Amino acid sequence: MTQAQWIKRVVKPLAFVASLGPFAWLVRDIVTGNLGANPVERITHFTGLTALTFLMITLSITPARKLLGLSPLIQLRRMLGLYAFFYAVLHFTIYGLDRTLFEGTGLSLGSIIEDVSKRPYITVGFTAFLILCALAATSTNGMVKRLGGKRWQRLHQ
């Protein structure tokens, strides 16, 4: 079995299942009530850090591929990037539910803009979320064909 086949048949399915690990861990903590005194804050931080971790892993694949000569690693990049997006969506959803249900401020565009302009870490996170939305929306094979190789490549590099 070649290195590319091994990554496709063994590593990719294992990475897929392992990438669900943080979500399973979070569900377990929710079900068992093991979230501490402020569960919403804990879930928000957990999903945000998990999204950031997956984003960093995804972004490190290209340099690792070039430095270590592991070209087949590129097969994991899209999947890991989509997991980064999945956890970012969870993070944004929890943030929105927190603002709507617990703070009572609602999730209007105005309240989001106000929050983004007040707190720099939310500015960075929201900007990253918008970029991830564009990348996730154009990560399908159909969008690669629709955009054309060069335009798609420009967006995804």
- Spatial distance between the Cα atoms of 32 and 116, rounded to a whole number of angstroms: 33
Does 57 have pLDDT greater than 90?
yes
CB atoms within 10 A of CB 117: 10
Name the DSSP class of 8: I
Confidence at 105, pLDDT banded by 50, 70, 90: low
Structurally, the chain folds into a number of domains equal to 1
CA pair distance 63, 156, nearest whole angstrom: 15
DSSP state of 7: I
Confidence of residue 132 (pLDDT cuts 50, 70, 90): very high
Q: Which residue in this structure is represented by tokens 């997991």?
A: 83
According to the model, what pLDDT value does residue 80 have? 96
Structural domain that includes position 49:
3-156
Summarize pLDDT for 1-54 with one digit per residue, the tens.
787 788 888 989 999 999 999 999 999 999 999 998 999 999 999 999 999 999
